[in-house]
């Protein structure tokens, strides 16, 4: 078997071709995955946690629009339906909500991307409506009404939010421009993994999308209580009773004469 070696001249002639292939592959990979950064990427829930701001930045092609989303894990929720009975408002049945994320916040560079998204949009409330379902005390044709009410309920709790036009676009450098969005996690946010996504839109079509992780974790005293509740239920129960008794005595002392002079 003969082994042939390429001469130096032929090697140099092939190098530009190989370099071109590498650059082309890199450009294609970069186009499919726009740059995204999340800060902080870990949010800690301590004793005095009152919510947290999360900053998301990314780079998109000049002239393109962007949508940013923070999405929690989908879970099953049980809600009570209110109705009139004898002129009074009361619980008239239970509804089960499936497929709704525990947290959903979205922002856009252009307001219409969220206020009037296209049918093929994968973001916003219209996209959520396709994955959320109701069961229980829901009559045929009432789902659209309950979806709107469900979104308003979540917005009042601070876990759902639409921020049309809130993404800031900086001066472009080269072929790309930097986009920045600020999200506010409420104090009621659950310790869970979340997903932060940047979607690039051009000409009404999605041309790229990339996602990153955001973790919300308990630390300190709340973490200790959670650990006790899940791993040492008896100890947690005793501790809860002791705290309740001590708190009761302290409140009684303060408001029933302990502070008199």
The pLDDT of residue 41 is 95
Q: Does residue 238 share a domain with residue 126?
A: no
- CATH number for 192: 2.60.40.10
Number of Cβ atoms within 10 Å of the Cβ of 33: 13
pLDDT confidence of residue 120: 87
Instruction: Give the model's pLDDT for residue 177.
Output: 93
pLDDT for 243: 76
Q: Give yes or no: residues 162 and 209 share one domain.
A: yes
Give the pLDDT score at 174.
Answer: 80
Give yes or no: residues 160 and 229 share one domain: no
Residue 11 has pLDDT above 50, yes or no: no
5 is a domain residue: no
Sequence-distant (≥ 6) Cβ neighbours of residue 76 within 8 angstroms? 96, 97, 98
Instruction: Let me know whether 114 and 142 are in one domain.
Output: yes
Phi-psi region of 253 (alpha: psi -120 to 50; beta: other; left: phi over 0): alpha
Binning pLDDT at 50, 70 and 90, where does residue 91 land?
Answer: low
Are 170 and 42 in the same domain?
A: yes
pLDDT of residue 190: 93
182 exposed, middle or buried (CB, 10 Å; 0-12, 13-18, 19+)? Answer: middle
Neighbours of 100 (CB within 10 A): 22
Nearest to 70 by CA among 162, 200, 205, 201: 162
What is the band of 24 on the pLDDT scale with cuts at 50, 70, 90?
Answer: very low
- Per the structure, the complete domain to which residue 249 belongs is given by 219-255
Higher pLDDT, residue 11 or 84: 84
Residue 12 in any domain: the answer is: no
**Residue 167 contacts residue 31 (beta carbons within 8 Å):** no
Residues 83, 73: Cα–Cα separation, whole Å? 30
Average pLDDT over residues 130-137: 87
Q: What tokens does 21 get? A: 């292939």
Instruction: Provide the pLDDT for residue 16.
Output: 44
- The reported pTM is 0.75
Local confidence band at 212 (pLDDT 50, 70, 90 cut-offs) = very high
Q: Are residues 190 and 245 in the same domain?
A: no
At 204, is the pLDDT very low, low, confident or very high (cuts 50, 70, 90)? confident
Does residue 247 have a pLDDT over 90?
A: no
- For the segment 147-201, what is each residue's pLDDT rounded down to a tens digit? 999 999 999 999 999 999 999 998 777 889 999 999 999 999 999 999 999 999 9
Res. 10: pLDDT tops 50: no
Task: Please give the structure tokens belonging to residue 124.
Answer: 């916003």
In the structure, what pLDDT confidence band is assigned to residue 73 with cuts at 50, 70 and 90? very high
Average pLDDT over the chain reads: 82
Q: What's the pLDDT score for residue 257? A: 60
Count the Cβ atoms, other than its own, within 10 Å of residue 110. 15
Q: Is residue 108 within a helix (H) or strand (E), and if so which, with residue range?
A: strand 104-108
**What are the backbone angles phi and psi of residue 167, rounded to the nearest 5°?**
-75, 125
Q: Which is higher by pLDDT, 143 or 155? A: 155
Q: How many structural domains compose the chain?
A: 2
210 in a domain, yes or no? yes
């Amino acid at each position: 078997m003969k082994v042939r070696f390429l001469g130096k001249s032929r090697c140099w002639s092939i190098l530009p071709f190989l370099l071109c292939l590498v650059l082309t592959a890199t450009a294609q990979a970069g186009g499919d995955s726009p740059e995204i950064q999340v800060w902080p990427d870990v949010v800690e829930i301590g004793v005095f946690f009152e919510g947290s701001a999360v900053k998301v930045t990314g780079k998109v092609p000049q002239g393109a629009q962007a949508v940013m989303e923070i999405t929690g894990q989908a879970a099953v929720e049980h809600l009570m339906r209110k109705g009139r009975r004898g002129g009074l408002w009361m619980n008239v049945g239970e509804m089960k909500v499936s497929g709704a994320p525990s947290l959903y916040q979205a922002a856009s560079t252009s307001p219409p991307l969220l206020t009037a998204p296209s049918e093929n949009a994968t973001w916003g409330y219209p996209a959520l409506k396709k994955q959320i379902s109701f069961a229980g005390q829901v009559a045929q044709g009432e789902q659209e009404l309950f979806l709107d009410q469900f979104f308003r309920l979540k917005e009042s709790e601070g876990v759902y939010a639409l921020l049309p036009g809130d993404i800031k676009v900086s001066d472009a450098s080269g072929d790309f421009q930097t986009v920045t969005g600020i999200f506010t996690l409420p104090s009621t946010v659950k310790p869970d993994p979340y997903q932060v996504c940047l979607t690039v839109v051009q000409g009404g079509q999605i041309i790229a999308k990339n996602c990153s992780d955001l973790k919300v974790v308990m630390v300190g005293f709340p973490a200790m209580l959670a650990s006790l509740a899940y791993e040492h239920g008896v100890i947690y129960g005793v501790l809860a009773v002791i705290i309740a008794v001590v708190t009761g005595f302290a409140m009684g002392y303060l408001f029933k004469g302990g502070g008199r002079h």
